[in-house]
Amino acid sequence: MRLALSLEALRADTRPRWVLAGAALDLDFEAGRYWAGRVLASPEALPGWTSGAPLISGDGLVCVGATAWRAALPDWAGNPEEGLTVRAEVTETQGAESVGYLVILHAGSLTDRVAVLTARSALSTRVTRDGAETFIVSAAVNASARYTAVLGVKPGDGRLAVTGVNASAEITADPPPLNRFEIGGFNSSLPLDGIVHRLTLWRGRLSDAHMDSLT
């Protein structure tokens, strides 16, 4: 019986070892490896990818100004009770000046969103439901260096962790139903200039210790 159970467990866990533990979506642009419940040959194979062929350098996904890369979120993201955690690893272009979206998860508008914006010297979060902001936290970053930002939210609880900084813990949040994600901007007035090395999404709000270990 134990052998049968072990074999069943092996068959059920088909994810490669490079996928970050428990991730529902793991886009490792730098290494050219993509996971969305199965191995994908390219980002264009993601459900709902509408952005054409991505511009990928040796370091990752290139975002230049108004360029935005879009795809669908897993169905479970439509239930805000689930909560979620998103991690982005990025290097910003030196000299870039505009405020821009590093990553935004949304339901078609800014009325319902979970987002991380960069203002070059700092990151800022936006969790909005029915037009009301429920989680706004900022953390300083060194825009000339590679850094990682991890945002975790569930009803009543939000947290941002950034390389070298734990910006907040246990602050009220009210995430909305979501169905899409975008990297590098929601519109032309909020662009991103830089390289996104990796983007990872988890179902549920990870523990503080787990979030810190990912920065």
pLDDT digits (tens, 9 = 90+) for 3-27: 444 444 444 557 899 999 999 999 9
Q: Does domain 2-213 have CATH number 2.60.120.200?
A: yes
pTM: 0.90
Per the prediction, the chain carries an average pLDDT of: 87
Domain-by-domain residue ranges, the chain? Answer: 2-213
Split at pLDDT 50, 70, 90, the class of 190 is: confident
For residue 9, the model assigns a pLDDT of 43
Secondary structure (DSSP) of the chain: -HHHHHHHHHHH----TTSPTT-SEEEETTTTEEESSSEESSGGGSTT--S-S--B-SSSEEEEET--EEEEPPGGGG-GGG-EEEEEEEEEPTT--S-EEEEEEESSSTTSEEEEEE-SSEEEEEEEETTEEEE--EEE--TTS-EEEEEEEETTEEEEEETTEE--SSB---PPP--EEEES-SSTTS-EEEEEEEEEEEESPPPHHHHHHT-
pLDDT digits (tens, 9 = 90+) for 18-58: 999 999 999 999 999 999 999 999 999 999 998 888 889 88
For residue 93, the model assigns a pLDDT of 84
